[in-house]
Structure 1
Amino acid sequence: MTTLAILAALPTLCAAQGNVTLYGIVDTGVAYLSNQGGGQAWKTQSSNLSGSRWGLRGAEDLGDGLQAIFLLENGFDINSGAMAQGKREFGRQAYVGLKSRRYGALTFGRQYESVLQYVGRLSSAAQWASIVGAHVAGMDDLAPAFRVNNAIKYTSVNYNGFSFGGLYGASNQAGEFATNRAWSLGARYSHGPLVLALGYFVLNHPAAPGTAGAVGASGAGTGSDYRGAFALKALDGSGTITRHQTFAAGGSYIAGRATLGLVYSHVLFDATGASARADNYEINGRYQASPALLLGAAYVYTDGRSDTGQRPKYHQINLGADYFLSKRTDLYLVGLYQRAAGDAQNAELNMLPASSTNVQTEVMAGIRHVF
Structure 2
Amino acid sequence: MLIVCAAAMPVATVAHAQGSVTLYGLIDEGFETISNATTTAGALGGRQFRLDATNGLNSSRWGLKGREELGGALTALFQLENGFELNNGRLGQGGALFGRQAFVGIESKQLGTLTLGRQYDSIVDYVGKLEFGDSNVGTGHSAHPADLDNFNNSRRTNNAVKYTSNDYGGLTFGGIYSLGGVAGSVARNQVFSLGSGYHGGPVTLGIAYLQARNPATSLFGSNPNETPTSNGLTGTPVLSGYAGASAYNVIGAGALYALGDAVLGANYSNVRFSNIPALGNSSAIFNDFEVNLQYHVTPRLLTGIAYNYLHSSHVSATVGGANYSQFSAGMNYTLSRRTDVYAALQYQTANGHDSTGASAVASIAGVSPSLNRQQTVGRVGLRHRF
Match of 1:79 in 2: 87
Match of 2:202 in 1: 193
2-structure distance, mates of 1:6, 1:268: 47
Moved over 2 A (4+): 5-11, 13-18, 213-229, 342-345
Match of 2:237 in 1: 229
Is 1:164 the counterpart of 2:164? The answer is no
> In structure 2, do the counterparts of structure 1 residues 334 and 193 end up closer, same or farther at CA, with 3 Å as the change threshold?
same
Matches within 5 A, 1:4-43: 7-8=3-4, 14=14, 16=16, 18-37=19-38, 38=44, 39-43=46-50
> In structure 2, do the counterparts of structure 1 residues 214 and 160 end up closer, same or farther at CA, with 3 Å as the change threshold?
same
Amino acid at match of 1:90: F
Matches within 5 A, 1:64-213: 64-127=72-135, 128-208=137-217
2-structure distance, mates of 1:64, 1:141: 37
Contact 2:233 2:243 in 1 (8 A): no
1-structure distance, mates of 2:330, 2:122: 26
Identity of aligned residues (%): 37
TM-score, normalising length: structure 2 = 0.88
Contact 1:136 1:229 in 2 (8 A): no
- Deviations along 1:257-293, one digit per CA (max 9) or x if unpaired, are 0000010000001222322111000000100111111
How far off is 1:8 after superposition? 4.2
The 10-residue stretch of structure 1 (358-367 or 336-345) with the greater mean CA deviation from structure 2:
336-345
> In structure 2, do the counterparts of structure 1 residues 185 and 238 end up closer, same or farther at CA, with 3 Å as the change threshold?
closer
Contact 2:238 2:363 in 1 (8 A): no
Q: Which of 202, 216, 223 in structure 2 is aligned with 1:218?
A: 223
Contact 1:215 1:221 in 2 (8 A): no
2-structure distance, mates of 1:61, 1:239: 45
SS in 2 for 1:225: coil
- Deviations along 1:307-359, one digit per CA (max 9) or x if unpaired, are 22320000000101010000110001000000002225211101211112100
- Deviations along 1:132-165, one digit per CA (max 9) or x if unpaired, are 1111111001102211000000000111111100
> In structure 2, do the counterparts of structure 1 residues 229 and 214 end up closer, same or farther at CA, with 3 Å as the change threshold?
closer
2-structure distance, mates of 1:152, 1:360: 40
Match of 1:352 in 2: 367
SS in 1 for 2:384: strand
2-structure distance, mates of 1:220, 1:188: 34
Match of 2:41 in 1: none
> In structure 2, do the counterparts of structure 1 residues 92 and 351 end up closer, same or farther at CA, with 3 Å as the change threshold?
same
Matches within 5 A, 1:284-303: 284-303=292-311
Is 1:261 the counterpart of 2:268? The answer is no
Amino acid at match of 1:338: Q
SS in 2 for 1:179: coil
Contact 2:156 2:222 in 1 (8 A): no
> In structure 2, do the counterparts of structure 1 residues 194 and 31 end up closer, same or farther at CA, with 3 Å as the change threshold?
same
Q: Calculate the aligned-residue CA RMSD, in Å.
A: 2.0
Contact 1:258 1:285 in 2 (8 A): yes
2-structure distance, mates of 1:311, 1:342: 6
1-structure distance, mates of 2:99, 2:186: 24
SS in 2 for 1:117: helix
Match of 1:321 in 2: 331
How far off is 1:216 after superposition? 4.7
Runs of at least 5 residues in structure 1 that lack an aligned partner in the other structure: none
Contact 1:126 1:144 in 2 (8 A): no
1-structure distance, mates of 2:219, 2:255: 29
The 10-residue stretch of structure 1 (196-205 or 266-275) with the greater mean CA deviation from structure 2:
266-275
Contact 1:153 1:168 in 2 (8 A): yes
How far off is 1:214 after superposition? 6.2
> In structure 2, do the counterparts of structure 1 residues 239 and 155 end up closer, same or farther at CA, with 3 Å as the change threshold?
closer
How far off is 1:70 after superposition? 0.2
Q: Which of 61, 66, 74 in structure 2 is aligned with 1:53?
A: 61
TM-score, normalising length: structure 1 = 0.92
> In structure 2, do the counterparts of structure 1 residues 276 and 186 end up closer, same or farther at CA, with 3 Å as the change threshold?
same
Amino acid at match of 2:316: T
SS in 2 for 1:83: coil
SS in 1 for 2:367: coil
Is 1:246 the counterpart of 2:253? The answer is no
2-structure distance, mates of 1:129, 1:154: 29
How far off is 1:176 after superposition? 2.1
How far off is 1:16 after superposition? 4.1
How far off is 1:231 after superposition? 2.0
The 10-residue stretch of structure 1 (175-184 or 103-112) with the greater mean CA deviation from structure 2:
175-184
Counting matched residue pairs gives: 358
Contact 1:148 1:215 in 2 (8 A): no
Match of 1:44 in 2: 51
SS in 2 for 1:121: helix
